[in-house]
Amino acid sequence: MKYYSLEQQSPKVSFKNAVIQGIAPDRGLYFPEKINPIPQKYIQNINDISNHELAYAFINQFVGNDIDANSLKHIVEDTLDFNFPIVKVENNVFALELFHGPTMAFKDVGARFMARCLAHFNQDNKKEVTVLVATSGDTGGAVASGFLGVKGVNVVILYPKGKVSEVQEKQLTTLGQNIVALEVDGNFDDCQRMVKNAFLDKDITNVRQLTSANSINVARWLPQMFYFVFAYKQLENKTKDVVFSIPSGNFGNICAGMMAQQLGLPIQQFIAATNANAVVPNYLETGSYIPINSIPTISNAMDVGNPSNFVRIQEIYNNDFELLKQHLQSYSFSDDETRKAIKKVFDHSGYICDPHGAVGYLGLKQYLAQFNDLQGIFLETAHPVKFLESVEPVIKETIAYPQQIQEVINKKKVAINIKSYDELRSYLLD
């Protein structure tokens, strides 16, 4: 399998090189040259096939010959050692819980898969790789956990000061070893801009082998297909069409779901539910894609004013605006609406949504109000304990720390404060 840059100004590369490079030299995101639907037996007999076998079937073509079959199967099994349950919240409304991994966020899957791929590629390589990543919340913790102790890999995480929750910050600043956290005076877009600039800085890349663990990296992005497959598998009624509502920030998760659809998973519709950062809802309404400065919200992992992965979504639908609109609806919701949704769901069912899941729930409900003959799944992308300051005052109950959080919450934060790209550059060149 070859990958090409969406900027069309760089040579095609293998999966291995796409993973190691992270982003193409022309600043474009890598995209697979082909998308071949998987054999229909995997869909028709999905209940009889293990999650590991399904995941391998969906990811195998994108890895190609760069990882042998036995090693790839082992990577998949090692990545997916926790559950992805769907929970009925209302009639025809289900929550897909993606927070049962080590950092209690959906990004555990992509981070673990990528870490294991890099470890495989680096096993005979004496040159160290530096994973450089920006986070708006959960990516940092997932990457830190996924790459902790991986031989030959150093991790540098940039996060916006004061704009991640306490739990999220502790998960990315307390592990030590090969993990370094840089606390940036700015927002997520500033962090992401610094990371992209570093990849194009030849003074840095001449002395450090950089790669990214954001969803711009194909090994972080593509494994997110698995969630959608596992959710569909669990539906009791597979004769009723299903829609997915995805709380969306950088749009990697929803883009992976669209890839699963391209491979044959029968998904009727995608809903991109956003907070006040309504770039994509505005685009679908007006036809004009206008990035904004990101707006802080209580669903902070979605505070993205220029979603990197949206260009991949456009590529999936051949940059055909009308075709894209047939498959994607997008709605924006305020913090006040998000809090009301958390309270409504809790009062009616006892289920506790985190702010991101609540946005996904709102998007799903808005769409199902127009089409009551469908069933829908919204993604619960992180455990509500990671957003106590937003959730507990709404439900008026205390949420206990799960074991994964107890292990880090009382550890000392260790981070380096930076204000500019020059300071990041100096750090990487030191």
Indicate the CATH number of 83-102+221-399 among 3.40.190.10, 3.40.50.1100, 3.30.2130.10, 3.40.109.40. 3.40.50.1100
pLDDT in tens, 333-389: 999 999 999 999 999 999 999 999 999 999 999 999 998 789 999 999 999 988 889
- pLDDT for res 406: 83
User: Which residues, at least 6 apart from 224, have a Cβ–Cβ distance to it below 8 Å?
Assistant: 106, 109, 110, 215, 252, 253, 256, 257
Residue 93 reports pLDDT greater than 90: yes
Q: Give, in order, the Cα–Cα distances in Å from 45 to each of 54, 86, 402.
A: 10, 19, 35
Stretch among 99-108, 368-377, 402-411 having the lowest mean pLDDT: 402-411
Closest CA to 282 of 338, 331, 335: 331
Q: Where are the beta strands (DSSP E) in 140-254?
A: 153-160, 179-184, 209-212, 242-247
> pLDDT confidence of 145, banded at 50, 70, 90?
confident
> pLDDT per residue over 228-286, tens digit each?
999 999 999 999 999 999 999 999 999 999 999 999 999 999 999 999 999 999 999 99
Percent of the chain at pLDDT > 70 equals: 100
How far is it, in rounded angstroms, from Cα 408 to Cα 174? 7
Is residue 417 helix, strand or coil?
strand
Is the whole model's pTM more than 0.85, yes or no? yes
Catalytic residues: 107
Tokens of 213: 């663990």
- Residue 221 is predicted with a pLDDT of 95
